[in-house]
Structure 1
Amino acid sequence: MSGDAEPYIENGSTLVALNMIKSIPGVTINWDNTSKMVTVDNNETKSTLVAGKKEAMVGGTKVTLSTSSVMKNGRVMVPLRFIANASGSQVYWNAPDRTVYVVKPTEDILKEIQSSDISVVRHSAYSLPRIVKFNVLSGEEGDSMAYIRYFPKKQSSEFFEQHMDIVNYYRIIDTHVELLWSARLNLQQEAKNASLPFLNNKIIEQSGKMPMIPKVFIYYNYSVPGGTTFGTIDKTGKKTLLGEATEDQAKQMFFSIPEEEQL
């Protein structure tokens, strides 16, 4: 999200413009200019904060902030932790990139993640807010719109996404998705990766912890233009193209593959 005031760090706390909270699902705010009080409504759970004070009320509980809120250039700047508590979000700090993540999924996504249809669950898993806690590898220059997404057979809680020479591994943790591993591939050099059989190129650089998932994988290969193809990759790395998605399937991003049930 972007705001009309730059975040800054003071006494070890990150302060952000309070109005940025409006971008978080299920949250509304109200400002009383007379009392200098802001009220945050998170799905009918209310929190209040007076500009310049170090105390706040979060859902009826008095909390002490790490630093006082301040008025700066006409904007109320508050500790990021207050944003998290008042909005029911989770906050994470990526020190290498100096990036703060505030994550909160929508109610619709949380409902979809409980579906009995694996294609719906995969879509919701892919749509969950993501965080990164280490430096992400940058890939080759280019404007390729080709992406390949891999899921272990009959699973949705973890997945891989490849764009050109970079492949990233994500896993659902709590109510967000976290990037746990990133690798650069040499697309000109083939190599077997027993722990990740779908990868058939040599890994030349990596960040994070490499997972070990020696299973059958389902893949969705998206290309614009070019359409969407899908198939399977067995434990030896053998790739089987099952077909090309229909227009309706391509719009869904992830769709049921009957052959997956037979693997």
Structure 2
Amino acid sequence: MKKIVLSITVSVIMLMAFTTTSFAQLPLRVVVNGNRVNFPDAEPFIDDNGRTQVPVRFVSEALGAEVGWEGSTKTVTISQGDKEIKIVIGKKDYTINGEKNLMDTEALLKEDRTFVPVRFVSEGLGARVDWDPAVRTVYIDTREKGSTKDDTPKDGSIIEVDGYLVPNDTNIIIVKPRGSDTIETSLSVTTLLPN
């Protein structure tokens, strides 16, 4: 009997340890207009001030902006249409179209990559930014609110539906009954097997 109790106790402890470990290792993700941004050689991270730092080039280009670098002054310039953001590495102040602004953190160089706080850059370019701590994902959206245009990717990638990350080819229905503050979610996954 003692062996059974001991083995159950050890099993529960191991299960709890692996569950905690797998949650703690959930990677940071950045999704721009429903498309996940890939970072091939440098991963985003949360800095000491609680800000998500991302490699500037990948996110800026996903937002349709161009990135320039002035090595002598350690200044990164992000340009999109009539907007220009200038950020100096190691400084908390930055400019948008020449107007000085202040961040609560700073851009930095790490492993030969320029990292910037994603919220300040994205909002500076006019995008909406949301953070979902449950899935450690930053959502950046440049589309107009209430847009009915279907610009979701058709390549089997992931999309966001009402705060959920799902494969693009998943059928999902979000229902909010009249007069209710709760939302009911139904997820249907169909798997077709070859004959």
Instruction: Determine the C-alpha separation between the residues in 1 that align with 2:54 and 2:45.
Output: 7
Identify the residue that residue 78 of structure 1 maps to in structure 2: 116
2:42 matched residue in structure 1: 5
Shift of 1:82: 2.0
1:32-111 aligned at under 5 Å gives the runs 32-105=70-143
Task: Supply the AA of the counterpart residue of 1:6.
Answer: E
Q: Deviations over 1:54-85 (max 9, x none)?
A: 11001222111121111100111111122213
Root mean square deviation, CA, Å:
3.4
Q: Report the CA distance shift for 1:36/1:135 in structure 2 as closer, same or farther (over 3 A).
A: same
User: Higher strand proportion, which one?
Assistant: 1
> Partner residue of 2:185?
182
- Cα distance in structure 2, aligned partners of 1:5 and 1:53: 21
Partner of 2:33: none
* Gap runs ≥5 in structure 2: 1-36, 154-158, 177-182, 191-195
Q: Is the 8 A contact 1:93 1:101 kept in 2?
A: yes
Mapped partners of 1:39, 1:58: distance in 2: 10
Provide the C-alpha distance between the structure 2 equivalents of 1:77 and 1:63, rounded to a whole number of angstroms. Answer: 18
AA matched with 1:183: S
Distance 1:78 1:132, change over 3 A: farther
Match of 1:205 in 2: none
- Fraction of identical pairs, as percent: 26
Compare relative contact order (CA 8 Å, sep 6+) and give the higher one, 1 or 2.
Answer: 2
> 1:196: which partner in 2?
none
1:134-165 C-alpha deviation (Å, 9 max, x unpaired): 456x79xxxxx9x7xxxxxxxxxxxxxx72xx
Partner Cα separation in structure 1 for residue 125 and residue 175 of structure 2: 28
Residue 177 (structure 1) aligns with: none
TM-score, length-scaled by structure 2: 0.59
Deviation at 1:92, TM superposition (A): 0.6
